Amino acid sequence: MNNRDVAAVFETVADLLEIKGEAIYRVLAYRRAGEAIRSLGQDVHVLWEGGKLEEIPGVGKAISEKIDELLRTGKLGFYEKLAAEIPPGLVEVLRVGDVGPKRAARFWKELGITTIEELEEAARDGKLQQLSGMGQKSEGRILDSIEALRRRKTDRVSIGVAWPAAQELLRRLREVEGVHAAESAGSLRRWRETVGDLDLIVSSTRPSAVMQAFVEFPEVERVRGQGETKASIELRNGLRVQLWVHPPERYGSALQYATGSQAHNVRLRELALSKGLSLSEHGFKRSDGSEILCAGEEDVYRALDLPWIPPELREDRGELQAGRDGSLPDLVKLEDLRGEPHLHSDWSDGKATLEEMAGAAADLGMRYIVFSDHSRSLGVASGLSIDRLREQRAAIAAVQAKLGKRIKLLQGSEVEILADGRLDFPDEVLAELDLVIASLHTSLRQSSDRITARLLGAMDNPHVDMIGHPTGRLIGRREAADLDMDAILGKAAERGVALEINANPERLDLSDAHAKLALERGCVLSINTDAHHPDDFALRIYGVGTARRAWASAEMVLNAWPLDRLLRWLEKRAP
DNA sequence: GCCGTTTTCGGCCCGACTGTTTTCAGTCG
């Protein structure tokens, strides 16, 4: 039973309790605990064995006992009792928009509905509108929502899809007359790896005009709601978008509010209350009814005696305390990155020549790049033989001569960790390279013991400087390998091996949570694009976002170091 | 059910929008 499984049990418990009509704070407690376990960097088993379950925020005595029962027996009596009372299938019904716990409970009790299919059938038969408090419109909305749910396929989309889509909408919004500023908020602004919808905030004194222009954008499929200051639409590609319009003098509180996370906002509001202030997206209200307006986000935090907190940290993971202590990290920025340690050329499966990749990198201001084409056994990616690897070295030297001081070119390899744990090149070949990245691409479904041993063994090789996309996950498509992350991070810290944050939005591997844990263990990170084409360098933003979510400063990121420091580091590592 | 620069008990964030309403419940973020 992994973290996700445990989290899913508590999240389902929360939904079932809510349908049952339990006290909302009890429901929220289970939901919060579920989310905390889901975003835990380390295996919940490790905390369990160490008797540290209650250190998880939102986990107290009752829930830690339930985790214990789950991990010991694989079952939870509390859940089974609940599932006997309320059909667990109803949890699925909650995914339909416009259907919350109250309606789900009524549909079940009054119409016997326990699945989305049954709900759809009842709606088509006009049975929903016969319930008191329901009408034709509500029934129609629910039918629309079921269709929308089917169109979406998944609940959350990759940030690699969401971010460009948001930039396009923002560009268009900024052209609308009367718009002072427009930004994305929500989980996108916090750089979460997937987002449920886009939240856009506009500063304007003419909200209704902005609203009207927005719902008439050509890519809008349907308008889910439209009011004076708020609109909700769905795009043709299934993405849902919320727009808030606020006057400039309230823009800061609106942006802060919409950025979340919910847990962070709850903490802020508690803090506000303790100072006799009530905080909403419109600003602060004192008990006498007077207001404090916040044009900028920093005004919101200042009113609470806090420094501005970067959006990536707003997850209620200690950022308020760090703000009070003055110990907020100076987070790594895109401009801090000085080079690219992991990229491919057409010598293996890249789509561009050495010179094209080098030129593009130099144009972006990078000081160095490391050609790290695949090694010989990865046939599907045209991995280099030892002879080809040596030929490539001469080719790189020729390009270097041509580019001169514009950029420093290094040669590395993304060397396969074979299924039996050996590396794909012998040590004497690895010793010829400037930087060696060891990666898993095959046999990712091995048992935890075997696949963990492969990575540990690779890190014991003195030539290995870095591990590429450590868990091998593809978000939404392939699960991470079943690694003992505790052992992996411990070994990386001990051996001084850098761990990659692969910036490709399909990977983001290490994840934010693992990267944070890695830093706490004293590991060094590297933000790599794994570029196969010059356009891929643009993916750096996703890696930077993930590193920032891990509380990483530039000091902790290998490719944010100056080149001479990197070279000294490599030299010191050489056996 | 959790939690403590108010607290080990008594709180726990707040508002917009919609639909079916005679004053508000439900959903959403």
What is the residue-wise DSSP string for A375-426? BTT-GGGTPBPHHHHHHHHHHHHHHHHHHGGG-EEEEEEEEEB-TTS-BSS-
Q: Which amino acid is at A75?
A: K
- Residue A341 has a pLDDT of 97
Residue A137 has pLDDT above 70, yes or no: yes
- Residue A222 has a pLDDT of 84
Confidence of residue A154 (pLDDT cuts 50, 70, 90): low
CA–C1' distance A209–B21 (Å)? 30
Q: Which residue is nearest to nucleotide B18 (CA to C1')?
A: A225
Percentage with pLDDT > 90 across chain A: 70
Torsion, CA A270, CA A271, CA A276, CA A279, rounded to 10: -70
Mean pLDDT of all residues in A325-347: 96
Helix H or strand E encompassing A118:
helix A116-124
CA–C1' distance A226–B17 (Å)? 8
Render pLDDT for A531-560 as a digit per residue (tens, 0 to 9): 999 999 999 999 999 999 999 999 999 999
Q: How far is CA A102 from the centre of its chain?
A: 31
Which nucleotide is closest to A277, CA to C1'?
Answer: B13
Render pLDDT for A223-253 as a digit per residue (tens, 0 to 9): 888 888 899 998 887 788 999 999 999 999 9
Mapped onto helix, strand or coil, the DSSP state of residue A432 is coil
Q: Which residue is nearest to nucleotide B25 (CA to C1')?
A: A133
Give chain B positions with protein CB within 7 A. Answer: 1-3, 5-6, 11-21, 25-29
Contacts of A550 (CB under 8 A, 6+ apart): A501, A510, A512, A513, A515, A516, A518, A519, A525
CA–C1' distance A274–B10 (Å)? 15
Burial of A253 per CB tally in 10 Å (0-12, 13-18, 19+): buried
Which nucleotide is closest to A245, CA to C1'?
Answer: B16
Query: Tokens 């919101």 label which residue?
Result: A300
Which nucleotide is closest to A186, CA to C1'?
Answer: B29
CA–C1' distance A209–B1 (Å)? 46
CA–C1' distance A131–B23 (Å)? 20
Please say whether the beta carbons of A251 and A244 come within 8 A: no
Region class of A289: left (phi > 0), else alpha (psi between -120 and 50), else beta: left
Which nucleotide is closest to A107, CA to C1'?
Answer: B26
Between A336 and A448, the more confident residue is A336
Mapped onto helix, strand or coil, the DSSP state of residue A243 is strand
CA–C1' distance A48–B7 (Å)? 29
Phi, psi of A446 (to 5 degrees): -60, 165
- Residue A381 has a pLDDT of 78
- Residue A97 has a pLDDT of 86
**Measured at the alpha carbon of residue A386, what is the angle toward residues A383 and A387, in degrees to the nearest 5?**
105
Between A482 and A439, the more confident residue is A439
CA–C1' distance A19–B19 (Å)? 21
Q: Check the CA dihedral A218-A256-A193-A545 and report its sign.
A: positive
Residue A80 has pLDDT above 70, yes or no: yes
Percentage with pLDDT > 70 across chain A: 99
Confidence of residue A528 (pLDDT cuts 50, 70, 90): very high
Which nucleotide is closest to A140, CA to C1'?
Answer: B19
Phi, psi of A380 (to 5 degrees): -60, -25
What are the Cα distances from residue A140, in Å, to A120, A241, A370, A549? 10, 20, 57, 41
Query: Tokens 């939904």 label which residue?
Result: A15
CA–C1' distance A406–B15 (Å)? 55
- Residue A153 has a pLDDT of 63
- Residue A408 has a pLDDT of 98
Q: Which residue is nearest to nucleotide B14 (CA to C1')?
A: A280
- Residue A287 has a pLDDT of 76
Render pLDDT for A5-62 as a digit per residue (tens, 0 to 9): 999 999 999 999 999 988 888 998 999 899 889 888 788 999 999 999 998 888 999 9
**What is the C-alpha to C-alpha distance for residues A204 and A220, in angstroms, rounded to an integer?**
21
Residue A123 has pLDDT above 90, yes or no: yes
